[in-house]
């Protein structure tokens, strides 16, 4: 089903994966897909980092999920490294394969400078091209704390409002305070945005993850960092993991009480933490 239609029917629960690069990663993903199947996700999304090999891996995984018919799949497409002709061809391939859902993103700059060129400046242009190619349900990214490359929060919100005028919904970068989500929605509403904003969830399960989250543009609040450090003092890595899952479950419960349109879980291709959070929230 189309994600925009699913969002009209009630709360969505979705999971995000990345395409495996090796037999070992493939085996991990197969286990994860099997473990998560009983949770009956509304849809799954598949990331794409750029380059021909990654593009094909994403295409293969998305079309496989779609073909098997158990889940609705959403393909990530990005601006970086693409000409308009390349992207138009890829979008036609998705349409021919029956894929109806896209996540249009700017994309992270790859390590290889040769892959950084692009005929797209902003994700909005990618949304507009997808509209030309076919009748897709299109999502865009949203950053509650502001995109790392935005000069300021006000301009970030204006650009996001323009994207959402053309797209159908947004999925946020992960965050750790419900107030960050509330502020995002209220600031967009002040700009006339009424499209659904799905919060993205990723638990912090290691102390080293605190630094990684900040590098990804979603700094862990001091109060959560203190909870994790205290947990480590009590029982080491296992306690940190348990506390991180507990904190993410609390955030999700608060968001559900606020009436969010869905919950989107960044799984990193592993299921355990996601299943634990889901069980706490929904008993499954």
Q: State the catalytic residues.
A: 16
> The dihedral of CA 273, 275, 276, 277: what is its sign?
positive
Q: CA 101: distance to chain centroid?
A: 13
Q: Which residues of 155-184 are buried (b: 16+ CB within 10 A; e: fewer)?
A: ebbebbbbbbebbbbbbbbbbbebebbeeb
- Residue-wise DSSP of 33-45: HHHHGGG--SEEE
Given a contact cutoff of 8 angstroms between Cβ atoms, the answer to whether 35 and 275 are in contact is yes
| Count of residues making up the chain | 284
């Amino acid at each position: 089903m189309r994600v925009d239609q699913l969002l009209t029917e009630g709360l969505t629960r979705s999971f995000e994966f990345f395409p495996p690069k090796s037999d070992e990663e493939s085996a991990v993903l197969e286990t994860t897909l099997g473990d998560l199947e009983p949770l009956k996700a509304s849809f799954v999304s598949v990331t794409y980092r750029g380059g021909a090999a990654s593009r094909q891996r994403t295409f293969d995984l998305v079309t496989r999920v779609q073909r098997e018919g158990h889940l609705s799949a959403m393909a990530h497409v990005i601006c970086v490294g693409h000409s308009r002709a390349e992207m138009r061809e890829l979008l036609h391939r998705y349409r021919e394969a029956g894929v109806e859902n896209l996540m249009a993103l700017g994309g992270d700059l790859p390590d290889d400078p040769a892959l950084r060129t692009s005929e797209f400046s902003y994700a909005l242009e990618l949304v507009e091209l997808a509209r030309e190619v076919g009748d897709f349900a299109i999502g865009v990214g949203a950053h509650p704390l502001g995109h790392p490359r935005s000069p300021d929060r006000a301009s970030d919100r204006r650009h996001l409002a323009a994207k959402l005028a053309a797209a159908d919904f947004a999925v946020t970068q992960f965050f750790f305070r419900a107030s960050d989500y509330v502020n995002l929605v209220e600031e967009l509403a002040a700009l006339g945005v009424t499209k659904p904003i799905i919060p993205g969830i990723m638990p912090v399960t290691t102390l080293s993850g605190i630094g990684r989250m900040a590098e990804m543009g979603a700094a862990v609040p001091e109060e959560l960092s203190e909870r994790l450090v205290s947990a480590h003092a009590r029982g080491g890595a296992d306690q940190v993991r348990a506390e991180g899952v507990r904190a993410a479950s609390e955030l999700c419960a608060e968001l559900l009480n606020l009436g969010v349109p869905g919950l989107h879980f960044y799984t990193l291709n592993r299921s355990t933490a996601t299943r634990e959070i889901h069980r706490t929230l929904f008993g499954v």
